[in-house]
Amino acid sequence: MTNRPIRPLLFPFAIAFLLDFSPSVSAQFLPRDALTRLKFEVRADAEAWGGQSSTLGFHGRYFNIMAGGNLGNSFSYYFRQRMKPEAGSIAFFDNTDFLYLNYQPSPRWRLRFGKDAMALGGFEYDAPPIDEYLTSEYWNNIYCFQLAASAAYLFADGRHTLTFQASQSPYLRSLGLNWDDGLWAYNLQWGGALGQHWQVLWSTSLIERQRGTYMNLTMLGTRVAYQRWSLYLDLMHHALGWNDWGRNYGGVLRSDLQLSPSLTLFVKGSCEKNTSKLDLASPQWLDQLVPAGHTFTKGGLGCEYRPKGMETVRLHCYAALLFDHEYNAQTWRSFTFNMGASWGIDFATLIHKE
């Protein structure tokens, strides 16, 4: 008889079974709130593209498994695995978005180590990928989930957090380097609430492109939200060197209007431009985040619908125009129409439900 690993799809059911039917074991070894989150979620889209060429098809976008809870003595953890058909290309944790350990020795300080999102600003970047549509080129290209260590200071009023993080550089991936080749990224992020309706997610980073050579990435995300209406604006600037300022920049704007408890209308647009003088044949072009010599403009209108009493089910659709203007060349235009569905099951709620 051969030993076979449990299939990933069975993990939530196996954990739920052990916790639900082995109370004496879980009480002996785990805190009561060791599993406050256990969920899987799915999104699939049908998409049509029109332009130089036309495409039409169904696309399985996301299948995520998430778990989290408290381990006791001020330690907690969080895990999100994005299930993909291909193996990881760099390291064992490639297809894992989050797998980190938190330690909060006091109400003001939080330390974290493990696989994490780079501490960058912007509300498009901060949202779970499964919730985003019509994403910017920056969002599409950045390889943001990295092994990292961070320290965060939470201000006394609880409305502001300042985070410093050191992580692996995303250039390890684009340059085909190994995890131990020693390229780093250093991120400083401020997240806060300004009054009752305004929020900010601002950051500045130094991302090592090669030993001793850095790209500066600055992200300024600002959001205003009322009961039925919200809007965010993300401004971004990238500099590949000290003589490259003002050449690579962009913005993302999204506004949501809740028409009813079930129906939300949204409009989203982005414009990104890169006039950097970097050779396009360089393997580093990807981590410019927007290819040199290009201007991308995107804009679209869409809606989300959550059936009454079924908040874990979300239907969406949007239509958008996209423009790619290449320097000294023509502008490529395309149109896309997307509709899809997302749904999930929160096993932790079922386990703890009385």
- The secondary structure of 177-202 as a DSSP string is --GGG--EEEEEEEEEEETTTEEEEE
Q: What's the average model confidence in pLDDT over 158-183? A: 87
pLDDT at 292 over 70: yes
Q: Do 208 and 183 form a contact (C-beta atoms < 8 A)?
A: yes
SS3 347: helix
pLDDT at 247 over 70: yes
Q: What's the average model confidence in pLDDT over 206-231? A: 93
The mean predicted confidence, pLDDT, of the chain is 85
**Backbone dihedral angles phi then psi of residue 134, each to the nearest 5 degrees:** 50, 60
Among the ranges given (28-32, 187-191, 343-347), the one the predictor scored with the smallest mean pLDDT: 28-32
Question: How does residue 122 score in pLDDT terms, banded at 50, 70 and 90?
Answer: very high
What token pair was written down for 277? Answer: 């003088």
Question: How does residue 281 score in pLDDT terms, banded at 50, 70 and 90?
Answer: low
User: b/e per residue, 106-120, with b = 16+ CB within 10 A?
Assistant: eeeebebebbbbbbb
CA atoms within 13 A of residue 15's CA, in its CB half-sphere? 22
Question: How does residue 204 score in pLDDT terms, banded at 50, 70 and 90?
Answer: very high
pLDDT tens-digit readout, 265-274: 999 999 999 8
pLDDT at 57 over 80: yes
Distance CA 37, CA 348 (A): 5
Res 240: pLDDT = 81
pLDDT at 23 over 70: no
**Backbone dihedral angles phi then psi of residue 310, each to the nearest 5 degrees:** -135, 60
Dihedral sign for Cα atoms in the order 243, 125, 183, 62: negative
Q: Do 171 and 208 form a contact (C-beta atoms < 8 A)?
A: yes
Distance CA 265, CA 305 (A): 9
> Which residues 6+ apart lie within 8 Å of 24 measured at CB?
none
Instruction: Tell the residue number behind the tokens 């006039």, with chain if given.
Output: 275
| More confident of the two residues 284 and 194 | 194
Percent with pLDDT over 90 in the chain:
56
Q: State the CB neighbour count (10 A cutoff) for residue 143.
A: 17
**Backbone dihedral angles phi then psi of residue 24, each to the nearest 5 degrees:** -70, -35
Q: What's the average model confidence in pLDDT over 56-65? A: 90
Res 294: pLDDT = 86
277-283 long-range Cβ contacts below 8 angstroms, 24+ apart:
277/244, 277/247, 278/240, 283/174, 283/175, 283/176
Question: How does residue 217 score in pLDDT terms, banded at 50, 70 and 90?
Answer: very high
